[in-house]
Amino acid sequence: MDINLMITSLPKLLDAAVVTIKLLSVSLFFGLFIGLLFAILRLSKNKIINKFAYGYSYVFRGTPLLVQIFIIYFGLGQIEYFRSTFLWVVFKEPYWCAIIAFALNTGAYTSEILRSAFQTIKPGFIEAGKSLGISSKIIFYKIQIPIAIRQSLPAYGNEIILMMKGTSLASTVTLMDLTGVAKYIISTTFKPIEVFIVAGGIYLFMTFIIHNIIKFLEKKYGYSQ
């Protein structure tokens, strides 16, 4: 055990953890909107829209995240036309490519979580709203969405933790996140166990915090099984 290495690598890894947290929070932010959009599309009665939303979540849940990142980072740059559009400003940066891949990926899982949450809302709530003469738009925003959020909190908490682990793949497209820096230190010092303990400890600490935030929110929004 090289305690010295563990102490000297800690600040570097903590700096890298900030990158991980940034990646995670930005992609969760966009992912939540994508998830909500596709959950609503999934509930649509129009068969084509429904199939499209199902196809999206099926493809993104059925393929590894690594493939998705590689298609977006290496693949899209290959299209000549694409390089001439203004979108290229975004897609040439590995940082944004990783975030787009993460957001689309977590969006697919989130849409499934939200869809099942919407479907478990008792029809009585909506009927009660209707009989009170509330417009269907307000029923959706004020009744369905809050209940769906409350229902989906535990599953969404798991998704956040899975996504936190997913951000480690950013290191494959040259980003120096926590895993990227850990790999760099391992490959220069050849001390995998020490680095694993420190980096793994930071990840576990983040998992612990996320877990507790979700627990707090569950209590606050009165989730009960």
Residue ranges binding other proteins (CB under 8 A): 58-59, 62-68, 70-71, 74-76, 78-79, 161, 164-169, 171-172, 179, 182-183, 186-187, 190, 192-193, 196, 199-200, 203-204, 207-208
User: 68 or 144, CB closer to other proteins?
Assistant: 68
Question: How far is residue 18 from each of residues 12, 139, 140, 206, measured CA to CA in Å?
Answer: 10, 39, 37, 11
Could you tell me the smallest distance in angstroms from the CB atom of residue 208 to other proteins?
8
R_g (Cα) of the chain, nearest Å: 21
- The CB-of-128 to other proteins minimum distance in angstroms stands at 34
C-alpha distances in Å from residue 201, one per residue of 10, 123, 147, 179, 194: 10, 45, 35, 12, 11
Q: Which is nearer to other proteins, 18 or 67 (CB)?
A: 67
Closest to other proteins by CB, 150 or 191: 191
Under 8 Å between Cβ of 218 and 153 = yes
CB of 143 to other proteins, least distance (A): 31
Give whichever of 115 and 183 is closer to other proteins, judged by the CB atom. Answer: 183
Burial of 6 (0-12, 13-18, 19+ CB in 10 A): middle
CB of 118 to other proteins, least distance (A): 22
Q: How far is the CB of 178 from other proteins (least distance, A)?
A: 8
User: Which of 39/72 has CB closer to other proteins?
Assistant: 72
- What is the 3-state secondary structure of 125-186? HHHHHHHCCCCHHHHHHHHHHHHHHHHHHHHHHHHHHHHHHHHHHHHHHCCCCHHHHHHHHH
Minimum distance of other proteins from residue 148's CB (angstroms): 22
Q: How far is CA 88 from CA 21, 66, 97, 105, in A?
A: 25, 21, 10, 21
Nearer to other proteins, 64 or 146 (CB): 64
